[in-house]
A and B are shown apart, each in its own frame.
Chain A
Amino acid sequence: MSEKVITLDKVNKWYDDFHVLKDIDLEVIKGQKIVICGPSGSGKSTMIRCINRLEAHQKGTIVVHGTELTSDLKNIDIIRREVGMVFQQFNLFPHLSVLDNISLAPIWVKKMSKKEAEEVAMVYLEKVKIPEQALKFPGQLSGGQQQRVAIARSLAMNPQIMLFDEPTSALDPEMIKEVLDVMTQLAEEGMTMLVVTHEMGFAKTVADQMIFMDEGKIVEQASPQEFFTSPKSDRTKLFLSQILNH
């Protein structure tokens, strides 16, 4: 039952001279929820952005769902259909209504009919609990609502894996919960999730693996229990003390 859906093997990436990712090894099993944390500039966003090739790695291999990510555009398209991504800045399309935002990819990538795609879109809008906003434009919604639309938009492609890149960092505090609730629900339904976040409460309840990254390396990988109660590395201890006691 432990089907590997993502494998990173000795992945390295440079921005010019700057070595962002150093020999990253990671295995993700189907249904696993992994929370990645670490100081800014530690490479955590870059790592998950490599998984759907928004960033290209230069050394090592990344295999997603049995397909290796290379510069081959066909493979990249296959993987992007399987992997959904939610961004810090939501990145909704401001010129399209909420409904059009969500049905766009099903229509153009999955070649669904407009009617079918809109039905799918409504299903996911129900799921994120804002079906009444379907005809509004992103600019008319609150940040929390926009991020929930962004989640629905990713889910509408029926992905096997969801990547979350600091999904609550751009939100006002009172809106964080509504987004985390949706993510928790998604986790309970068995979605494979990689989440970059500093929401340690969420991590404790949802994650089954914690990863701490620093300076482009995975410093520590452990179950949440172990991670929060007895972290091994000093760097992790320091980070946790800073983030939990502020």
Chain B
Amino acid sequence: MSSVASTYKIILWSKKNLFSSWINTLITILTIYFIYEVSFFFLDWAVFKADFLTNFRGERIIDRTFCSKNIEPGSYGACWTIIHVRFYQFMYGFYPAAEVWRVNLVLFLLPFALVAIFFDKIPFRKYFLYFTLVFPFIAFYLLYGGPSLTTVGTNKWGGLLVTLFLGVTGIALAFPLSIALALGRKSNMPVISLLCVIFIEFIRGVPLITLLFTANFMLPLFLPEGASPDNLLRALVAVTLFQSAYMAEAIRGGLQAIPKGQIEAARSMGLTYWQSTRKIVLPQALRISIPPIVNTSIGLFKDTSLVLIIGLFDLLGIGRAALADMSWTKLYYEVYVFVAIVFFIFCFAMSRYSLYLEKKLRTDNN
């Protein structure tokens, strides 16, 4: 019975929302037709007419000349073999194959390090949080090497590894920095507040790409002669500073939403500024600012692709390198669509998480 009722509900809903007037009906039909055409065309290209490992004659594709679309006139399906051939590089860059288990182990452990941050009602959360704290050291040791592990220089890192490294590390390092900046901006001490305002407004007033160039060319000038910090580190500094300014503004919004009475109550009981900030103000302010923080994080995650400008091979950089290979050149759509899909998966996950949080915050406050 309930399925009949729900079908009836759907019909009622469509009648009310999709076909309430002739113009509404027209728009509905045109939109459905448009969605159908676009998705059909895309699926046709990406799946039905596409080559994966073999072409339409059943031959193994070994370079671009074997792709169906380059043999058969009028054929237009995607030739995904380029992704297959370059998949290792897309994921790890030029990381030595013998050591790649280290990257895989880090990627496997990453969710365990994040889960306690993302969800506050999981069993054994305290232990997960301890793991979160030690994870950066484990990850660095595994990725870079150290005692009893061969060193893999960051010039060998690439692909999704670099994208995730810059995104996750940049966001993680920017977080404490941004709290300090947000509190500093609201400080009663004019010098501190002015410094924070100048820093935040300067960073926000400059494109990330400028910061990347600056970090790349100017960081060596501040360091002792001969010490050349590695390229990835330079990019990480730029990305972290950039993200911290945006996050600081998100957190400042949260701080402003805390009623003055909260601080007065805390101070009137004898709590110091730091105690009331840590126990009363920040827990409440951060909860409010999580959705905007996630939003800026999505932005940053995508912006990490700009590092290809300073010669790093992130996911997009590897894609460009693949296209430069003479035997696979001109397969632009395949490469860019693949890169877009990978970025989309991560950003969409973050955006869903942000929605989940907003809903949760709304119910928690009632």
Q: Which of these, B265, B275, B365, B366, contacts A93 with CB under 8 Å?
A: B265
Q: Are A157 and B261 in contact (CB under 8 A)?
A: no
Q: Are A104 and B264 in contact (CB under 8 A)?
A: no
Contacts of B280 in A (CB 8 A): 93
A85: CB under 8 A from chain B? yes
A139: CB under 8 A from chain B? yes
A87: CB under 8 A from chain B? yes
Q: Chain A's interface: helix, strand, loop or mixed, by majority? A: mixed
Contacts of B279 in A (CB 8 A): 104, 108
A153: CB under 8 A from chain B? yes
Contacts of A89 in B (CB 8 A): 259, 261
Q: Are B365 and A109 in contact (CB under 8 A)?
A: no
Q: Are B261 and A91 in contact (CB under 8 A)?
A: yes
Q: In the complex, A52→B267 CA distance in Å?
A: 9
Contacts of A95 in B (CB 8 A): 283-284, 287
B32: CB under 8 A from chain A? no
Q: Are A91 and B270 in contact (CB under 8 A)?
A: no
Q: In the complex, A182→B199 CA distance in Å?
A: 51
Number of A-B contacts (CB under 8 A): 58
Q: Are A139 and B366 in contact (CB under 8 A)?
A: yes
A32: CB under 8 A from chain B? no
Q: Which residue on B lies nearest to A55, using beta carbons?
A: B264
CB distance from B366 to the nearest CB of A (A): 7
Q: Are B265 and A91 in contact (CB under 8 A)?
A: yes
Contact with A along B348-366 (1 / 0, CB 8 A): 0000000000000000011
Contacts of B266 in A (CB 8 A): 93
B262: CB under 8 A from chain A? yes
Q: Are A157 and B265 in contact (CB under 8 A)?
A: no
CB distance from B172 to the nearest CB of A (A): 23
B206: CB under 8 A from chain A? no
What is the interface residue range for chain A against chain B? 20 to 34
Q: Are B275 and A52 in contact (CB under 8 A)?
A: no
- Which residues from 189 to 228 on chain B have a C-beta closer than 8 Å to any C-beta of chain A? none
Q: Are B365 and A54 in contact (CB under 8 A)?
A: no
B268: CB under 8 A from chain A? yes
Contacts of A153 in B (CB 8 A): 269
Contacts of A84 in B (CB 8 A): 268-269
Q: In the complex, A154→B265 CA distance in Å?
A: 9
Q: Which of these, A54, A93, A104, A108, contacts B268 with CB under 8 Å?
A: A54
Q: Are A80 and B270 in contact (CB under 8 A)?
A: yes
B271: CB under 8 A from chain A? yes
- Which residues from 107 to 163 on chain B have a C-beta closer than 8 Å to any C-beta of chain A? none
A81: CB under 8 A from chain B? yes
CB distance from B190 to the nearest CB of A (A): 16
Contacts of B262 in A (CB 8 A): 91, 93
CB distance from A90 to the nearest CB of B (A): 8
B272: CB under 8 A from chain A? yes
Question: Can you give 5 A-B contacts (C-beta < 8 A)?
Answer: A52-B268, A80-B270, A83-B268, A93-B284, A95-B287
Interface residues of A (CB under 8 A from B): 52, 54, 77, 80-81, 83-85, 87, 89, 91-95, 104-105, 108-109, 139, 150, 153-154, 157
Not counting A85-B268, A93-B262, a sample of 4 additional A-B residue pairs whose C-beta atoms are within 8 angstroms of each other reads A84-B268, A92-B265, A108-B275, A154-B269
